[in-house]
Amino acid sequence: MTSSDYLVLGSGIAGLSFALQAAQSGSVTVVTKKERSESNTNYAQGGIASVLAPDDSFDSHIQDTLTAGDGLCHEDAVRFVVERGPEQIHRLARWGVEFTPSIAGGWDLGQEGGHSHRRIVHARDMTGREVERALVQCCRDHPNIQFRENHHAVDLLIHRRQTGPGVCFGAYVLGPDGGVEPHTARATILATGGAGKVYLYTSNPDIASGDGVAMAYRAGAEVANLEFMQFHPTCLYHPFAKNFLISEAVRGEGAVLRLQDGEPFMERYHPLGCLAPRDIVARAIDAEMKRSGADHVLLDITHQPPAFVRERFPAIHARCLEFGIDITRDPIPVVPAAHYLCGGVRVDSRGRSTVDGLYAVGEVACTGLHGANRLASNSLLEALVYAEAAALDAHQWVSLAPAAVPAEADPWDDSGTTDSEDEVVVTQNWDEIRRFMWNYVGIVRTDKRLCRARKRMDLLQEEIVAYYRDFRVSPNLLELRNLALMADLIIRCATNRKESRGLHYNLDHPDRDDAHWRRDSLVRRSPL
């Protein structure tokens, strides 16, 4: 058994920035499924939204966020994040993040869909990679932070009290040798990212299997708004291009969405055209593809000077060249893909879940900032703000942690299980879930499609639960278990919401219903 003051599950911007601040007051262990730099953060291209220009304002950023969130944002959470934005950007710079400078001085600021001003600070089109590089370096050099790479959290350690909520005191962790050991901690922080791999087409890396939400739900924490999965409008369409995103910043610099015959179409859907909020752009592309039978649309930035395109988007330019597409001369074939989970583990303004001792920061959390649709480039900002708030509160919790919380945990019990010799069951169920989630619970939904998904999910859940009970855990089995629960929760939330709002669009309920549905979807497991 191992122990630390703070156990951080996940190594993206939320987990690492929390670790750096918590390490000032105690020992931190960061558990990550792959290498420490493998996270959704590492794949973020566009940048971080913050009010940094003299002609911009907090009120403008707040209003843009509220508009994108389609009536479901918590205004107090929006103000909390936006007003703390500039100090977080400067903190990243102090930690060594090298943002792209402006010729006129200061940092270059981009513009993306839904924003009324240029306020996206970036490191060209590799912002996430640069942020991850700097944070990993800072954490590697800190004596109070240790990493456990290629380790998988299995379930949270929960101490059940006679009254009130349970208390989290760590997690069972699967090591690379196949053994499961408890890791106790006085504060446990979920920073596990999103759940894009629940869908067939996604911009997310393979690690995004909804682990944190699934573990929190099984532990009794409240989760919220899981029907709001954001589909990024523009992922590269190519048979050999896996999960490659074409940043929204490309449209921010003037790229135009066109049909395959060259006709622009976004002006028919929204006054902002190609800079409309993501939910509108994704649905417009989906509608045009279904109308014409095309398998993709085109994103065209060829009217911009080639030198500017290569300088502003070096990674996108280089990656597309690998597939024979020169974006300075050729329109880019694109399709929508699952990108960002706007719901998650419900937390308060200090990152606290409804289970004592358990915090959630980053994409795994539902803070109220995003509402029914995330405004572009607000996610990394949210992760920074709530990581700081959670670190401050967790310090207080650790210093006052109740004596009733056990210092040790029961050993992992895998008696009666055997090693699986039939991994095809895991891969078959994984593929089936992702395919019917894409077809039935995707960009456009209907009651009938959701009903079909629910029936199929009920059968698969029975099969997966039985398989988990009979065989020793493996990384693939853990991800399948979490993916299946995540899909089930998304279906339940989507089925219950009888309206269309933001990212949830149901043809049987096409209108927004503020009288009945201007509220969060809350789900909690029944007490054991």
pLDDT value of residue 450: 97
Beta bridge partners of 47: none
**17-49 per-position pLDDT tens digit:** 999 999 999 999 999 998 765 665 665 667 999
**158-181 per-position pLDDT tens digit:** 998 777 778 999 999 999 999 999
Q: Under DSSP, is residue 296 helix (H, G, I), strand (E, B) or coil? A: coil
Confidence of residue 448 (pLDDT cuts 50, 70, 90): very high
Give the single-character DSSP code of 117: S
Record the pTM: 0.91
pLDDT value of residue 40: 59
Q: Where are the domains of the chain?
A: 2-228+342-400, 234-338, 424-514
- The dihedral sign for the CA sequence 279, 285, 288, 289: negative
Query: Which residues, in sequence order, are CB contacts of 400 under 8 Å at separation 6+?
Result: none
On whether the CB atoms of residues 383 and 17 are closer than 8 A, the answer is: yes
Average pLDDT over residues 468-477: 92
On whether the CB atoms of residues 527 and 220 are closer than 8 A, the answer is: yes
pLDDT value of residue 39: 60
Task: Examine the pLDDT at 84 and tell me if it is beyond 60.
Answer: yes
| Nearest alpha carbon to residue 161 among 7, 358, 355 | 355
The CATH number for 424-514, chosen from 1.10.1200.10, 1.10.3720.10, 1.10.240.10, 1.20.58.100, is: 1.20.58.100
Alpha-carbon distance of 347 to 341, in angstroms, equals 15
Name all contacts of 242-245 with Cβ < 8 Å and 24+ positions apart. Answer: 243/43, 243/202, 243/203, 243/204, 243/205, 243/337, 244/203, 244/319, 245/43, 245/45, 245/203, 245/337, 245/339
Confidence of residue 423 (pLDDT cuts 50, 70, 90): confident
Average pLDDT over residues 468-476: 92
Average pLDDT over residues 487-497: 98
Alpha-carbon distance of 145 to 24, in angstroms, equals 10
Q: What single string gives the DSSP state of each residue in 434-474?
A: HHHHHHHSSSSB-HHHHHHHHHHHHHHHHHHHHHHHHB---
Confidence of residue 266 (pLDDT cuts 50, 70, 90): very high
pLDDT value of residue 415: 87
pLDDT value of residue 42: 60
Give the single-character DSSP code of 202: B
> What CATH number does the domain located at 2-228+342-400 have?
3.50.50.60
Relative to beta strand 344-346, strand 365-366 is: parallel
Active site residues: 278
- Could you check whether 2-228+342-400 and 234-338 share the same CATH topology? no
Q: In what order do the strands lie in the sheet with 109-110?
A: 48-49, 120-121, 109-110
Percentage of residues of the chain with pLDDT beyond 90:
78
| Nearest alpha carbon to residue 129 among 268, 245, 275 | 245
* Least confident window among 87-96, 397-406, 480-489: 397-406
Average pLDDT over residues 246-264: 93
Q: How far are the Cα atoms of 115, 290, 345 from residue 109, in angstroms, in the given order?
A: 12, 36, 32
pLDDT value of residue 45: 66
Task: Examine the pLDDT at 404 and tell me if it is beyond 70.
Answer: no
pLDDT value of residue 328: 97
Confidence of residue 528 (pLDDT cuts 50, 70, 90): very low
Q: How far are the Cα atoms of 51, 52, 117 from residue 57, in angstroms, in the given order?
A: 6, 8, 9
On whether the CB atoms of residues 380 and 41 are closer than 8 A, the answer is: yes
> What CATH number does the domain located at 234-338 have?
3.90.700.10
pLDDT value of residue 34: 82
Average pLDDT over residues 484-509: 97
Task: Examine the pLDDT at 416 and tell me if it is beyond 90.
Answer: no
pLDDT value of residue 44: 62
Alpha-carbon distance of 525 to 52, in angstroms, equals 42
